[in-house]
């Protein structure tokens, strides 16, 4: 397990095996703040202020990702980079 902040450049080497390499990327982002990756779905995991906004259904989470997948197939972004040079995350 590694912990990185948004300013840490990181990458991995190519998978040279004949097996699938799995990874899981979990990100915390304050509600209402842009993630820099608007093409991926966001959801509220916990909220003291508004518990009814929490996504507690695994099927709902799956549906968000299926919808995002379909949008990306039809209209992929020019880049999957999180920030461009003028964005506040690069300051």
- What is the three-state SS of the chain? CCCCCCCCCCCCCCCCCCCCCCCCCCCCCCCCCCCCCCCCCCCECCCCCCHHHECCCHHHHHHHHHHHHHHHHHCCCCCCCCCCCCCHHHC
Domain borders along the chain are 41-76
Percent of the chain clearing pLDDT 70 (strictly above): 87
Q: What is the pLDDT of residues 70-89, one digit of tens each?
A: 999 998 887 776 666 666 65
For the cut 80, the answer to whether the pLDDT of residue 24 exceeds it is no
Q: What is the pLDDT of residues 35-58, one digit of tens each?
A: 778 888 888 988 999 999 999 999
Give the separation between CA 41 and CA 14, rounded to whole angstroms: 26
Average pLDDT of the segment spanning 5-17: 84
Q: What tokens were used for 46?
A: 């916990």
């Amino acid at each position: 397990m590694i912990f990185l902040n948004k300013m840490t450049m990181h990458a991995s080497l190519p998978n040279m095996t004949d097996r699938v390499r799995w990874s899981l990327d979990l990100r915390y982002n304050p509600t209402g703040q842009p993630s820099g990756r608007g093409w991926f779905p966001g959801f509220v995991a916990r909220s003291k202020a508004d518990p009814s906004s929490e996504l507690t259904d695994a099927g709902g989470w799956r549906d968000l990702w299926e919808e995002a997948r379909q949008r990306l197939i039809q209209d992929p972004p020019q880049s999957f980079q999180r920030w461009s040079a003028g964005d506040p995350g690069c300051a």
